[in-house]
Structure 1
């Protein structure tokens, strides 16, 4: 067993993730979430951020890149991903009819790691959401590591 674990540790760089739903947590700000971890989190995923696109610059955090998806015509919903600057996270924005999707990826050693954060608004058709997720998952190359977060 120790041999297996040492092989895994040699192959992969560990990254620390924190996932929080802004509506259902007591975290007042993204900065507070990171401060609680002494800024040791590599990637912070927030859902239901409830801010407008024009407000995103107000939520920048030193040392972190920010990628956001907001609802333009109303308040509510939205996704926000913070990643440490050195990760050079890139967003890939797939088309979606009902889901809020923030699809990001970064290189870690010799592997591309994808982080796909999906929020299903309450009034979205469940069957349609499953179909959209199925299409999205099929687009991910099998050789890549992925973290799929559905909220």
Structure 2
């Protein structure tokens, strides 16, 4: 169990909490707008039968629908994640491809702003993965969505980071 002092130090590091421990939206108005980019990925594990049936899906091409869903989701991030800032995205792309044992997804988001686009990339990758799930669930009850993670970010005072 954490002491009150440890808890206060933890809260001080988490920028979405005020000094009373209440969640709030971070004020980024004083931050310099810089070019920011983030990439996230997800993996959808499918059975060999579901993978083989992907091109013949009666709902349409699941990979293309997932790509569009991810792009649209990135633009809606601030309505889904309560403390996210609404960002004017300069670019969003979602790459969805069949690989051994499933579908690999990588989402990229870019902006010029005072805050980063990590959440937009993560929401894009997650939503694309959920869309693949939705469009293939009739073929495979054991689908797993795995490894939703940030793989790269750049811009702002923390600079570049890679997984």
Structure number with larger C-alpha Rg: 2
Q: Which TM class, normalised by the smaller chain length?
A: 0.3 to 0.5
Structure having greater relative contact order (Cα 8 Å, sep ≥ 6): 2
Relative to the length of structure 1, the TM-score reads: 0.33
Between Structure 1 and Structure 2, which shows a larger proportion of helix residues? 2
